[in-house]
Structure formats: C-alpha cells, structure tokens
C-alpha cells in the first residue's frame, strides 16, 4: 500500500505559500457533522489535528464509515469536479482543527497561477488514487470475510 499524500507538504514551497494566503483556521467539536453527502461542495479542508470519518448513507437510519482521515489529510475534493456535490458525509471523530479553503477563491488562484493549478490537481489526483486503493483493499477484506462465512 502506498503512503498517504499530505496535500500541503506535497506542494512546492512557493505554491504552498500562495495557497496558504487563502487559508482560514477552523475547528469542529467531536461528533460535529462537517458536511453531508449530496450537499454543495464549495470548500475543502486540510486537517491540522484530530480525526474525521467519511461516511456513506445506506438508508435513512444507517451510515457506513468508508474512511478515516487525520492530520495532514485533505478533507473534501468534490469542489473540484462538477456537479460540486459531496460524494460522502464527514463527521469529526474527535475535536478537529483544520485549514479551510474557499473553493471559488482557490480556483481563481489556480487560473492566475496555472503552475499552482497543475500541481494542486496532480496532488488531489494522487490523494484520490490512494483513497481508491484503500477502498479496494477494504472491499477485498470484506469479500474474503464474507466468503469465509463472516458477517458483512
């Protein structure tokens, strides 16, 4: 399994500094719902401390946790792709401190600085590839457990 990509440390210093001019420090208490699947994706976060669970609604009463994120991780990528709606929900698993970025402002900055835009999109793509690999591994574990007669 590949190592998780930490968005801010993956950016070259000049691009990181430009992006950080748009950062706003925020915090979420434990159990706070940060966003809901299907909601408008107009921002993203880089987690400074704490843990966030990504979940997927199964029905009106049940959610399944699909991933856990921690310090340095990118929270939210749906802002980058139409229709700009969250694919998952997110909840603070513990108290969370994060840098919050307004998606429209970041996209404007990327238009002004195409090099930053390219580096940012490449790094987000690496994050997505890593998460897809993690999800694939979890699905394979679940399948193997199911084949052995375990519960899903």
What are the pLDDT digits (tens) for 108-117?
999 999 999 9
Options 3.40.50.300, 2.60.120.10, 2.60.260.20, 1.50.10.10; CATH of 7-146: 2.60.120.10
Q: β-pairing, 43-49 with 74-75?
A: antiparallel
For the chain, which residues make up each domain, given as ranges?
7-146
Instruction: Write down the pTM of the prediction.
Output: 0.84
> Residue 2's pLDDT band (boundaries 50, 70, 90)?
very low
- The token duo for 143 is 């399948």
65 φ, ψ to 5°? Answer: -75, 130
């Amino acid at each position: 399994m590949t190592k998780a990509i930490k968005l801010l440390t993956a950016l070259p210093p000049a691009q990181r500094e430009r992006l950080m001019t748009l950062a706003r420090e925020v915090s979420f208490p434990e159990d706070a719902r940060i966003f809901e699947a299907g909601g408008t994706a107009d921002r993203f976060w880089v987690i400074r401390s704490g843990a966030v669970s990504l979940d997927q609604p199964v029905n009106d009463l049940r959610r399944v946790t699909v991933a856990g994120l921690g310090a340095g991780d990118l929270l939210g990528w749906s802002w980058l792709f139409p229709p700009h709606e969250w694919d998952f929900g997110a909840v603070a698993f513990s108290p969370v401190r994060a840098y919050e970025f307004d998606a429209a402002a970041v996209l404007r900055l990327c238009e002004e600085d195409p090099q930053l835009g390219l580096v940012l999109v490449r790094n987000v793509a690496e994050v997505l590839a890593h998460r897809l690999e993690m999800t694939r591994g979890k699905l394979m574990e679940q399948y193997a457990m199911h084949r052995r007669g375990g519960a899903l």
